């Protein structure tokens, strides 16, 4: 389509403009016509046709040229004020946009820099907690999976693929992904555990007298805090570290009896009541007081699956001459509740005072 045809489709806009009854869109369109020299011939022809239609006289080229000049002058007068306003608004908008964009640009720049130049050492850590009375499954960035027991936590660096070190508190079961290029190390306040790919359980509660490692599969090295090797564990071996004496005892066990908690099971096979009480205390965040050495040393076989503590006490009382008392939890000033407490006796040693 040529210029003259384009002009022909916009006659009405030109008429509105000359009568001062034009919209801002009309103004932009007509202004664009007069700002381009190549449109002059089309405009003259357009206006000549209108002149002939309205005046019904022969073409007066001189008057037509004068009218064209007047239109140019009219546009230029309006153009100055309207363009000034447009430019002011544009500059204002630009300043506001820059102010709004600065934080975003800084953030993008920082993130881009960190992705290209990550810090050599891990200053940032991620942490996962398991609430008291529950167990929590987790997966680390390298694909390693595991479970946190009641009241336990695991902490690892954000750039984990460069430093596969984790710090734990409480009881954690691991199924470590083997990576030949990078070892996996578990750090506790009492010892460290170095592995290449294995399934194992680490227990390191702050309020217990011992810390423990149970190995299901693979091989682990238990290291002192100076990185000296203390023990090497093979599958179905159990290491107990005494915090006060620094003594280490290693025994052979059925590891599933100690790691089944992650599946919601507590399995006891020929273990003393003192051990049962200790593991129940961990799971239910409850103090269990055993009265009498005879009860502490009594041997039990039992399997519990997600029963609550009161149900477990009832089951124990049906298979052995045991009496128990569950104390009501005391409400504290901050509206939380104190740690639970359960007392147990053998029937021939009952003392409820």
pLDDT in tens, 197-242: 799 999 999 989 999 999 999 999 999 888 888 899 999 999 999 9
pLDDT, mean of residues 311-324: 93
Looking at residue 247, what is its pLDDT? 93
* Beta-bridge partners for 195: 184, 220
- Over residues 265-273, mean pLDDT: 93
Kindly report, residue by residue over 194-207, the tens digit of the pLDDT: 997 799 999 999 98
**Architecture, CATH, for domain 125-258:** Sandwich (2.60)
352/172 Cα distance (integer angstroms): 37
Does this chain's domain 125-258 share its CATH topology with 264-349? no
Question: Does residue 158 contact residue 122 with C-beta atoms inside 8 Å?
Answer: yes
**Residue position matching structure tokens 């810390």:** 211
Handedness of CA 143, 146, 151, 153 (dihedral sign): negative
Model confidence band, residue 118 (pLDDT cutoffs 50, 70, 90):
low
**Tokens matching residue 184:** 């996996």
- 264-349 has which fold? Phage tail protein beta-alpha-beta fold (3.55.50)
Q: How far apart are CA 231 and CA 247, in angstroms?
A: 12
28 vs 345 pLDDT, higher one: 345
**Rama region for 252: left / alpha / beta (φ>0; ψ in -120 to 50; rest):** beta
323, burial (CB in 10 Å: exposed 0-12, middle 13-18, buried 19+): middle
Hey, how many other C-beta atoms are within 10 angstroms of the C-beta on 9?
9
* Residue range 120-158, pLDDT digits in tens: 554 689 999 999 888 999 999 999 999 999 999 999 998
What 113-120 contacts at long range (C-beta under 8 Å, 24+ apart), as own/partner pairs, is 118/159, 119/159
> Per-domain residue ranges for the chain?
3-102, 125-258, 264-349
Check pLDDT > 50 for residue 318. Answer: yes
Q: Which pLDDT belongs to residue 333?
A: 82
Alpha-carbon distance of 35 to 319, in angstroms, equals 103
């Amino acid at each position: 389509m040529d210029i003259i045809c384009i002009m022909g489709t916009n006659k009405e806009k030109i008429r509105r403009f000359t009568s001062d009854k034009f919209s801002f869109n009309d103004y932009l369109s007509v202004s664009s016509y007069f700002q381009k020299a190549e449109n002059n011939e089309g405009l003259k022809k357009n206006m000549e046709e209108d002149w002939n239609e309205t005046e019904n006289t022969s073409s007066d080229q001189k008057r037509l040229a004068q009218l064209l000049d007047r239109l140019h002058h009219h546009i230029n007068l309006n153009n100055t004020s309207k363009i000034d306003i447009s430019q002011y608004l544009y500059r204002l908008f630009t300043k506001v946009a820059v102010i709004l964009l600065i934080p975003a640009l800084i953030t993008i720049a920082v993130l881009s820099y960190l992705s290209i130049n990550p810090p050599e050492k891990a200053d940032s850590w991620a942490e996962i907690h398991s609430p008291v009375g529950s167990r929590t499954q987790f997966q680390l960035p390298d694909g390693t999976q595991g479970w946190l027991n009641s009241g336990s936590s695991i902490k690892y660096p954000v750039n984990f693929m460069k430093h596969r070190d984790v710090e734990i508190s409480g009881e954690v079961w691991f199924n470590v992904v083997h990576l030949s290029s990078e070892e996996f190390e578990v750090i506790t306040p009492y010892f460290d555990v170095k592995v290449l790919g294995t399934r194992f359980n680490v227990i390191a509660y702050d309020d217990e007298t011992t810390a423990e490692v149970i190995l299901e599969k693979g091989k682990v090295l238990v290291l002192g805090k100076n990185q000296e090797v203390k023990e090497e564990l093979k599958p179905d071996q159990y290491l107990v570290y005494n915090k006060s004496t620094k003594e280490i005892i290693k025994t052979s066990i059925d590891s599933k009896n100690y790691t089944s908690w992650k599946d919601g099971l507590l399995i006891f096979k020929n273990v003393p009541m003192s051990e049962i009480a200790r593991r129940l205390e961990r799971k239910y965040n409850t103090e269990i007081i055993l009265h009498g050495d005879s009860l502490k040393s009594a041997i039990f076989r039992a399997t519990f699956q997600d029963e609550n503590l009161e149900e477990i006490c009832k089951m124990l009382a049906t298979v052995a001459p045991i009496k128990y008392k569950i104390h009501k939890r005391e409400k504290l000033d901050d509206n939380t509740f104190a740690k639970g407490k359960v007392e147990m006796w053998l029937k021939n040693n009952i003392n409820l005072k």
